[in-house]
Amino acid sequence: MMLQVVCFDFKGTLIDHSQEGRLIPGMVDLLRDLQDQGITLAVISRNPAKVVRHTLGDIQNFFGDFIYSGGGEGKLAGIITFANVCGIENLARIAFVDDKPDNLLPTAEASKVFVIGFRGSGKYPHTETICEDRGIPYANSVKDLRMWLIA
């Protein structure tokens, strides 16, 4: 599979839940390497885009204009909006990384998006078991996530 885009959830996936405003260790290097491979990066969050940009600080540059707030909509709606804006027809070329099963499962079940569960900051320890039960790839660390995302 040739990925074109990686969409990240915000809190718990890029930003550590337990240390508000701090990035998950190793994430900047992963974002840089994905960008170097020509992969477009996006953030799909329920948080307002202004809050996401402020919290990300300098690393918001990795995402450019591709920071989407789903508001009350689910993550899949944000991914589809993003895909439409970018002209991406094949959702299988999009990876979605999240730490929360309530976001992962509906996206995996209702689309061809390549969904990856991620331990992230560890707020949802049951995510690994749920992903294993549903056959969804799971990354316990940024190193594991790198193996799923970089060819």
State the amino acid at position 95 in one-letter form.
Answer: A
pLDDT given for residue 21 in this prediction: 72
Which of the listed CATH numbers 2.40.30.60, 3.30.420.10, 3.40.50.1000, 2.40.50.140 matches domain 7-88+113-124+136-149?
3.40.50.1000
Contact partners, residue 37, CB within 8 Å, separation at least 6: 150, 151
Mean pLDDT along residues 145-150 = 95
Mean pLDDT along residues 24-53 = 93
Q: How far apart are CA 98 and CA 94, in angstroms?
A: 13
The rounded radius of gyration (Å) of the Cα atoms in the chain is 14
pTM of the predicted model, to two decimals? Answer: 0.94
pLDDT digits (tens, 9 = 90+) for 47-66: 888 989 988 988 999 998 89
Domain ranges for the chain, please list them.
Answer: 7-88+113-124+136-149
pLDDT given for residue 1 in this prediction: 55
User: Which position has the token pair 């549903």?
Assistant: 134
Angle at 64 between CA 71 and CA 103, to 5 degrees: 35
Mean pLDDT along residues 92-111 = 95
Predicted confidence (pLDDT) at residue 36 exceeds the cutoff of 80? yes
Mean pLDDT along residues 10-14 = 92
